[in-house]
Structure 1
Amino acid sequence: MQKVCCFGELLLRFSPQLNGEWIKNATMPVFIGGAELNVATALANWNVPVQYTSILPDNQLSAEIKQYVEQKGIDTSRIPTFGDRIGTYYLPQGADLKNAGVIYDRANSAFAELAPQKVNWDSILDGVSWFHFSAISPALNQNVVDACEEVLKIARSKGITISVDLNYRAKLWKYGKTPAEIMPRLAQYCDVIMGNIWAANWLLDIPLSDTINPESSQEEYLAHSIDTAKAIQAKFPQCSVVANTFRFDAPPTGILYYTTLFTEGQQFVSPTFATDVVVDKVGSGDCFMGGLIYGLYHQKTPQEVINYAAAAAFGKLNEYGDATRQKIADVEMILAKTL
């Protein structure tokens, strides 16, 4: 079977315990992560052949990281090496990446040195049937944007299915361009676009109704999801599948979660999931993206695809760390309890 290639920046996440505990105890957990690596990890757990492509410096730390990733069943043989450092970020325990508490330390990373004609994409895409990236990479600088378009053009020419996660990281867009100026240029190559109605507005300039607000009902959100999906497909004719997620805090510590998939003029809605306690919010969207790819890769029905992806993402909320450890049976058990 041909591989899925997940492409993006590998990051080290430092997760300090606040109130000075990380200083007192002289400890700070470190996670190997990055949105696209989280997707690759989910796919490997679910027996989908997957490779991960990033840019790493040529040093011992990179070698140990690649060995760690390989042990998860992910092919790292197609990671070019240049540059001097691995990007990092700090996220306090229990916080969300959308939370203002995230602190990035990614400037001048090896991945940020990516530019057109610096990587042999033909070699990297050999034997690949699916290419996945996210909106995080184009947030770094213009050279990375140009390199992303370079690989997308080559993937398109090879008939490779292309997916994008509309991850929005406001703190990364610092090089004078707005997401809506950049992402449509890349989204035009994509067959599958995943995000939510707000990300589609911020990154793709898809209209967001003034009537949508925190008090909106589930029915109103689902109706808007159809409008957003139709607008995306009208603007980007290559796109055949649009998925939207809806995740709301349920005070004091819980989550309400449901998702949609739009294809061939019809919207499919997942079950609604709820929990009173969340272990770690990081990576749930990546797990959802992995679930989408898993289902579409295996040509499941649209309802089966969205059900599995949503259940997997919900399961990730109860796991500590960046990437899911769930197996197929674990996801199916969550789904069985809900349906």
Structure 2
Amino acid sequence: MRHKENVLVFGELLLRFSSADEKFINKNHTVSLFPGGSEANVSASLGQLNVPVSYLTCVPDNALAANALTALSELGVNTSKTVLRGSRMGLYFLLSANGLSSGQVVYDRKFSSFSNLKPGVIDWDEMMKDQTWFHWTALTPALNENMAGVCLEALTAARKNGLKISVDLNYRNRLWDFGREPIEIMPELVKYCDVIMGNIWAANKMLGTGIDDTLDRNTSVVDYQEHSAKTAQEIFSLYPQCKHVANTFRFMDNPTHNLFYGAYHTSDGNYNSKIYETNEVVDRIGSGDAFMAGLIYGLISFENGTDIIETATGSGYQKLFVKGDFGDGSFY
């Protein structure tokens, strides 16, 4: 293994309510409650992989938030940087037990403690002391204009303090509802990043890279891999700071089916993972976040591009068999 990094992850800690009945409101059944959120999920996986990781979020000072933070702490995540302010946590409702059927998500994140953050509240220089890596996702600037400003503030500080920066291009159209399109916000933020993870469709939507509109479920793996390499080269050209690009490919033909593979690119090399397929999915929520954690772990631990993408993809695939948002830190 190569040298260790100290990873600082920034994002909203959420509570997930899952129902076994897609009608959700039914006097005859209960709901399951899990801590989650993309960035918390990444932190949980890194903690279990013994990567030094600190999670920075903003939550109210109440028992519900404390319980969720404790769950992260028990997985090896440092939560001491948490900002306590405001009066409510962000929530999301999954209208199935595990995202296996329609998996429709309803967000309740407006006016949460985190979404009410504004530039100038967090002392980023202080938060980044002794940190070497900063991770964020596109979910945060999707919340509102102020959060986009907070991200810019954080990224400017991370670059000034010499941290490596990674981003997950999580695209959720239900979140981008404050009058700005991702392409208006994300390029200014992504230009600071050394590592960009997502998929070819998110890169098109957020960064303006090209996309072939004929791509569909019947497109071959080889064709998708070639498109991934082409998208990566566009990203390297548009964002010179970026040295690593990874894309996931996930397809679902029925509620318990998942076809999963990944691609990793540098300016001079393209690496493709094994192809994983299962009809025994337990919980598909958080598989992309486990992939992201595996990618960070791979970049920290290995020189070889094949080892890096196999670690990331194996981590994402393994999450399909773990209940809740958090992965278990293992590779398939």
* TM-score, length-scaled by structure 1: 0.93
Q: How does 1:63-82 map to 2 (within 5 A)?
A: 63-82=66-85
1:286 is matched with which residue?
289
**Structure 2 gap segments, 5+ residues each:** none
Q: Does the alignment pair 1:16 with 2:42?
A: no
2:110 is matched with which residue?
107
Q: What is the alpha-carbon root mean square deviation over aligned residues? A: 1.8
**Structure 1 gap segments, 5+ residues each:** 335-339
1:337 is matched with which residue?
none
Q: Does the alignment pair 1:117 with 2:120?
A: yes
2:147 is matched with which residue?
144
Preserved contact between residue 287 and residue 317 of structure 2 (Cα < 8 Å) = yes
Which one of 268, 272, 284 corresponds to residue 269 of structure 1? 272
Aligned residue type for 1:149: L
Q: How does 1:189-338 map to 2 (within 5 A)?
A: 189-251=192-254, 253-327=256-330, 331=331, 334=332
Equivalent-residue separation in structure 1 for 2:89 and 2:161 (angstroms): 31
Deviations 1:60-94 (A, max 9, x none): 32223222221111100001111111000100235
Which protein is richer in helix relative to its size? 1
Equivalent-residue separation in structure 2 for 1:188 and 1:197 (angstroms): 18
Tell me how far 1:326 sits from its aligned partner: 3.7
Equivalent-residue separation in structure 1 for 2:260 and 2:83 (angstroms): 38
Tell me how far 1:269 sits from its aligned partner: 0.3
Tell me how far 1:266 sits from its aligned partner: 1.2
Aligned residue type for 1:310: T
Preserved contact between residue 88 and residue 105 of structure 1 (Cα < 8 Å) = yes
Tell me how far 1:210 sits from its aligned partner: 3.2
Q: How does 1:46-65 map to 2 (within 5 A)?
A: 46-65=49-68
Tell me how far 1:282 sits from its aligned partner: 0.1
Aligned residue type for 1:150: E
Equivalent-residue separation in structure 1 for 2:64 and 2:218 (angstroms): 48
Q: Does the alignment pair 1:90 with 2:93?
A: yes
Tell me how far 1:204 sits from its aligned partner: 1.0
Tell me how far 1:105 sits from its aligned partner: 0.7
Equivalent-residue separation in structure 2 for 1:6 and 1:199 (angstroms): 21
Equivalent-residue separation in structure 2 for 1:210 and 1:22 (angstroms): 38
Deviations 1:279-313 (A, max 9, x none): 11100000000000001122442110100110111
Which one of 124, 128, 131 corresponds to residue 128 of structure 1? 131
Preserved contact between residue 36 and residue 134 of structure 1 (Cα < 8 Å) = yes
3-state SS, counterpart of residue 121 of structure 2: coil
Equivalent-residue separation in structure 2 for 1:171 and 1:139 (angstroms): 9
Preserved contact between residue 183 and residue 203 of structure 1 (Cα < 8 Å) = yes
2:6 is matched with which residue?
3
Quick one: structure 1 residues 20 and 205, their matched pair in 2 at CA, closer, same or farther if it must change by over 3 Å?
A: closer
1:33 is matched with which residue?
36
Bigger shift: residues 57-66 or 282-291? 57-66
Identical aligned residues as a percent? 43
Q: Which fold has the larger relative contact order, with Cα–Cα distance below 8 Å and residues 6 or more apart in sequence?
A: 2
Preserved contact between residue 137 and residue 144 of structure 1 (Cα < 8 Å) = yes
Preserved contact between residue 250 and residue 276 of structure 1 (Cα < 8 Å) = no
Preserved contact between residue 22 and residue 28 of structure 1 (Cα < 8 Å) = no
Tell me how far 1:32 sits from its aligned partner: 0.3
Equivalent-residue separation in structure 1 for 2:16 and 2:206 (angstroms): 25
Aligned residue type for 2:176: W
Quick one: structure 1 residues 100 and 324, their matched pair in 2 at CA, closer, same or farther if it must change by over 3 Å?
A: closer
Equivalent-residue separation in structure 2 for 1:66 and 1:316 (angstroms): 21
Aligned residue type for 1:58: D
Aligned residue type for 2:57: S
Equivalent-residue separation in structure 2 for 1:252 and 1:107 (angstroms): 30
Quick one: structure 1 residues 195 and 261, their matched pair in 2 at CA, closer, same or farther if it must change by over 3 Å?
A: same
Equivalent-residue separation in structure 1 for 2:304 and 2:133 (angstroms): 18
Aligned residue type for 2:208: D
